[in-house]
Amino acid sequence: MTNVCFMKETIAYEALAEAIAEAPSIPPCQTSDPEVWYSDITTGVHEYRMAKKLCGTCPVRTECLTYAMKANERFGIWGGLTSTERQALRGQGRGRPLKSRRR
């Protein structure tokens, strides 16, 4: 089972790398301070909110979130979601999974 999970993670990473390479614009995470994406929510609220805002403009947000979910990323903002939000999306968090947002 571990090999299957690793393969899914690798495929998702390769898809993300390809999407970044082919994106019409450079994703914000590629040009900004990494601290913005990995700030502690309790002490770095400004950075945390800034990262989520920047993700809203990202051309590879979907691929980023897909990778984070398959790789079970435990830290940072990926695809516009925090670790807690990703856990809830997986149904592993406390309470109910996140509802899909309407635009």
Distinct helix (H) and strand (E) counts, the chain: 5, 0
Question: Within a 13 Å sphere around the CA of 62, how many CA atoms are in the beta-carbon half?
Answer: 4
Q: One digit per residue, pLDDT tens: the chain, 103 residues?
A: 567 777 889 999 999 999 999 999 999 999 998 888 887 656 656 778 889 999 999 999 999 999 999 999 999 999 999 998 999 998 865 544 445 444 4
The domain limits of the chain are: 2-90
Centroid of chain to Cα 45: 17
Take residue 32 and report the two structure tokens written for it.
Answer: 């900004």
Q: Structure pTM?
A: 0.78
Centroid of chain to Cα 62: 8
Per-residue b or e along 5-33, where b marks 16 or more CB atoms closer than 10 Å to that residue's CB: eeeebeebeebbeebbeeeeeebbbeeee
